Structure 1
Amino acid sequence: MPSNTEKPPLDPVAQTIIDMLAGGATPTFQDVAKAIAKARAKPKDGPDAWRRYLTAVRQQALYLARNGSLELTRKGVAIDPNDFKGLVRIRLPQAADRHATD
């Protein structure tokens, strides 16, 4: 029986998101998709090749946000990952934005 303390490895897209958050960066979904496309570029890929990664980036960011590994923000304010629209940024969780439930 596997130990509950061992975490399964992250999806490569999720790992790229986490890596891009180092140093306090706040990328958008598009920024992450463009970075993945650049890293995986083939000579025949066009300038819009990043769009094929956008759905995967969004799905992985939502997964990580729902698990508390990161936050989605709009205009610098943390937003609900289950109900948002518009251009959002991704950041590491900020203690000041968390609401006490006491």
Structure 2
Amino acid sequence: MSDPIETAIFEKLSAADPKGVGGKSIEPAEVAKALQPEQWQRMLPRVKAVALGLMRQGRLTITKKGKAVDPSSVKGVIRLRLPTEAETAAALAALPTATADDDDFA
């Protein structure tokens, strides 16, 4: 089952960045307004939370003034864009790796 917020984020990004090279960005408010035009302010925290999850998976980059940022330490206006290949590789490298000791089903 697909998350409608995630779907809306990637639809807006594909319209802004049709080549998918991580150049163009969107505002989280654009996604919130597309999902709930009348009460988009209520939707905004959920859009940002989904964006944070996508960033941690290496599927999205959160930026401020055109530079990738750590959203937990930034305040103010942020933007969302597709990650570059280097950003995706860095995000995936930062994920914890599974070890044989982690297997609870053995």
**Closer/same/farther in 2, CA of residues 97 and 75 from structure 1, 3 Å limit:** farther
Measure the CA separation in 2 of the matches of 1:53 and 1:66.
20
Deviations 1:5-27 (A, max 9, x none): xxxx4311111111111041411
Percentage of identical aligned residues? 38
- Alpha-carbon shift at residue 99 of structure 1 (Å): 8.4
Please provide the CA RMSD for this pair. 2.2
1:13 aligned onto 2:5: yes
Q: Of 60, 66, 86, which aligns to 2:76? A: 86
Structure 1 stretches of 4+ with a deviation exceeding 2 A read 95-101
The Cα shift of 1:87 comes to 0.5
Matched residues in 1 for 2:10 and 2:57: separation?
13
The structure in which a higher percent of residues are helix is 2
Tell me the TM-score normalised to structure 1 length: 0.69
Checking the alignment, whether the CA contact within 8 Å between 2:32 and 2:43 is kept in structure 1 is yes
SS of 2:63 mapped into structure 1: strand
Contact 2:58 2:88 in 1 (8 A): no
Cα distance in structure 1, aligned partners of 2:34 and 2:53: 19
Does structure 1 conserve the Cα–Cα contact (< 8 Å) formed by 2:32 and 2:40? Answer: yes
Report the secondary structure of 1:90's partner residue.
strand
When normalised by structure 2's length, the TM-score is 0.67
Q: What is the rounded CA distance, in whole Å, between the counterparts of 1:11 and 1:59 in structure 2? A: 12
Size of the aligned set, in residue pairs, is: 84
Matches within 5 A, 1:1-102: 9-23=1-15, 24=17, 25-38=24-37, 45=38, 49-95=39-85
